[in-house]
Structure 1
């Protein structure tokens, strides 16, 4: 599909441009939740079976599901084009500040303000805030006619930065900062090393595999084959891995979920506030900085989106598959997907509204 400058997709076409699997992602997630609840109620001893073989602190089936979630996304990144955006200092600085300073701080504040009496869920949300975008954000950015190469580069940089800094930031926001502020952390027990190890396993391994896939695939068969033949084949694997993980999580969390539905609703509220504030604030900041429509849109979506796959992996690896932290991570994509689809429509509306102003549109690019 070719998108030329000045060509605006009709808002009614946005969902139709998604693949069948991506278009109904919220439906699949809800179905996976229901299947997990049903499985947990009819299969006795399921938890013992799942934990019979472990990778670190994570059962092998769940570990495989988590790795499957991450690999296809990281295989899509064009690692040889980092310099196309790194030369744009405004975009780089704004993205780094929004993703690694403002985003985690905002989620920390919302979690403590809205969930002061639910420490497990609060911790899970803070972990979500630390897991910066590397997944579905590329799809939302494309639908909103953002800058595809900028999105790919920011995703790649976020991936590398998470390997290096996630454990440090986890220690800062979960232990050091609450202590400085005099907040009660006695009900939260974790190890910064365990967080770092989970990141290395569930992000470092698929990151290395994704990089190797692109280098070897392009060298052997060329970029056209890699992006138009190989990537479409492995793309659905990420969704299958996510749905499998959700089924297992909800099978083990069934009693908690059905007995405390209000808790799930309370987890959703700070997530809604977070996505809205991050996207709107980033959009306003990008426009004020004169980035142009395409890169402003990319800045907004990469700041608002979160790597819920990594958040789920870390929560399971550190706190356990039946923990409240893991449940908070699972609720994340259920809220993020419909919210960011809605923000795609908002972006296209803003694009039309500002088309007569000196505001750049997305350049021509092959889809």
Structure 2
């Protein structure tokens, strides 16, 4: 269901709502050129599901973490293949000129940076395990702790890895 909403309903709904507001309801207040730029921004936002907050909401609602990871991972994989064509289609329908290689470059940069950071973190952990196993030296670091427990009525306390 999440995939259907994220990829078949949301981008097109965002496009429709943006067109309604920018070109119909606020046409007297927003010049056509600016409305077209706003539409392009709405299409870019509407076509990209926000997967980062899914972890936070799942944790706050005591959701199933395995299901959450599967949903986020599959949506992130779908982003690689669906984001560019959907954006290109919606912007093409709007006569907004955005070179497809610009969209591909932005997507490749994002994926590259995220992959690089993940690999670097994995390598640090592997290096730490190796040095610990062969030389008895471990990487010392402070455990992060949340200082907002007293201010948050919905804090999950001991179930949170950052609880003091």
Identify the TM-score tier after normalising by the shorter chain: 0.5 to 0.7
In structure 2, C-alpha distance between the alignment counterparts of 1:163 and 1:232, rounded to whole Å? 32
Q: Unmatched 5+ residue regions in structure 2?
A: 28-34, 130-140, 146-153
Q: Match for residue 107 of structure 1?
A: 14
In structure 2, C-alpha distance between the alignment counterparts of 1:120 and 1:168, rounded to whole Å? 19
From the superposition, tell whether residues 366 and 232 of structure 1 become closer, same or farther in structure 2 (CA, over 3 Å). closer
Q: Tell me whether 1:194 sits opposite 2:102 in the alignment.
A: yes
In structure 1, C-alpha distance between the alignment counterparts of 2:143 and 2:86, rounded to whole Å? 32
Shift of 1:199: 1.0
From the superposition, tell whether residues 230 and 129 of structure 1 become closer, same or farther in structure 2 (CA, over 3 Å). farther
In structure 1, C-alpha distance between the alignment counterparts of 2:46 and 2:114, rounded to whole Å? 20
- Please report the TM-score for the alignment, with normalisation by the length of structure 2: 0.64
| CA offset digits 1:207-241 (Å, max 9, x no partner) | 2124314533443447xxxxxx69959xxxxxxxx
Q: Unmatched 5+ residue regions in structure 1?
A: 1-93, 179-183, 223-228, 234-344, 346-364
Q: Which has the higher contact order (CA 8 A, sep 6+)?
A: 1
Q: What is the count of residue pairs matched by the alignment?
A: 128
In structure 2, C-alpha distance between the alignment counterparts of 1:137 and 1:230, rounded to whole Å? 26
| CA offset digits 1:187-213 (Å, max 9, x no partner) | x22112211111111x21222124314
Q: Match for residue 206 of structure 1?
A: 113
- Please report the TM-score for the alignment, with normalisation by the length of structure 1: 0.31
For residue 138 of structure 1, the aligned residue among 50, 55, 63 is: 55
5 Å-filtered alignment, 1:209-220, equals 209-220=116-127
Shift of 1:97: 0.9
